[in-house]
Amino acid sequence: MNLEPYVEFAKKAFSREATYRIEVLMEIGSLVLRVYILRALWTALYAQNAAPTNLPLHSMITYATIAMLMSLILEVDGTRLIREKIREGTIATDLMKPISVPLYFFSDGFGQTLLHALLVIPSLLCALLLVHIDVAPPATFAAFLLAFVIGYGVNFFLNFLMNCIAFWTLETFAAQLIVRWVSDLLSGQVIPLTLFPGILGRIVFALPFAAIYSTPLLIYVGVIPPDQWAASILAQLLWLVLFAALSSLVWRAASNRVIVQGG
């Protein structure tokens, strides 16, 4: 398959995102303020309570800061385009083009993501003024990166599926935000999933959301030890395959019933 057009789609999306410079600066500014809040929050909590044995204060701050940097990349909904194209009816012409439309959405989303990925470096530097982050050993960092890439895939398909709802009903905005908020909590972005008590803890670890933030982050801070890396990453891969298969089923059903809105 010729990948050249998809590289072009990604480049286009990258430069489109890069035009909003003030937004980009504000994003970094708001991230720094939120890093400040998380430092204040966890410092206060650890000062007055018994710390969990596997997550001392420095690990918790590392966890929360890296979660925030990851969200710069993972909160970009690259497949928003599907919803817009369905509403405007241009999805019909896209389906006629000699390209794989899902792959087009992926490359467009990936291009947007790349720009936001560049923000990670200045954001990290600003965050380091406020907090100290543990540096993981190279092997751990490599495992973290691998888990992060798989988590990115799971997140992509989750967004893809949510946006595909627009093929059936045009009111998807509320449903999408609801899933986004629930996923923020259950994926371990807001708080580590290890804090969930008893049966709740077992449930959240069994859900697909855990593959997005929790697995890479727990690998990074050492809660998932090296001998369990393979099992955790395998679980992520299972979710990835499952979501990909589901997405391709939904996509096939959806493209069979394109409703043009007379855009």
Binding interface with another protein (CB under 8 A):
20, 22-23, 26-27, 29-30, 33-34, 36-37, 40-41, 43-46, 48-49, 52, 171, 174, 177-178, 181-182, 184-185, 190-191, 195-197, 200
CB 79 within 8 A of CB 159: yes
> What's the half-sphere exposure (Cβ side, CA atoms, 13 Å) at 49?
12
The sign of the dihedral angle between the CA atoms of 87, 112, 213, 252 is: positive
Q: Looking at beta carbons only, is 41 or 128 nearer to another protein? A: 41
Minimum distance of another protein from residue 33's CB (angstroms): 6
DSSP state for residue 257 in the 8-state scheme: T
Minimum distance of another protein from residue 176's CB (angstroms): 11
Amino acid at 125: L
Minimum distance of another protein from residue 36's CB (angstroms): 7
Q: Looking at beta carbons only, is 34 or 58 nearer to another protein? A: 34
Q: Looking at beta carbons only, is 54 or 248 nearer to another protein? A: 54
CB 158 within 8 A of CB 175: no
3-state class of 54 per DSSP?
coil
Minimum distance of another protein from residue 39's CB (angstroms): 10
Please report, for the chain, how many H helices and E strands are present, in that order: 11, 0
Q: Looking at beta carbons only, is 201 or 225 nearer to another protein? A: 201
> What's the half-sphere exposure (Cβ side, CA atoms, 13 Å) at 251?
19
Minimum distance of another protein from residue 122's CB (angstroms): 16
| Main-chain dihedrals φ then ψ at residue 3, nearest 5 degrees | -95, -10
Task: Please name the residue ranges forming H helices in 89-137.
Answer: 91-96, 101-130
Q: Looking at beta carbons only, is 168 or 181 nearer to another protein? A: 181
Minimum distance of another protein from residue 55's CB (angstroms): 9
Minimum distance of another protein from residue 65's CB (angstroms): 15
CA distance 192 to 217: 9
CA distance 155 to 150: 9
Q: Looking at beta carbons only, is 33 or 230 nearer to another protein? A: 33
Q: Looking at beta carbons only, is 184 or 233 nearer to another protein? A: 184
CA distance 140 to 58: 17
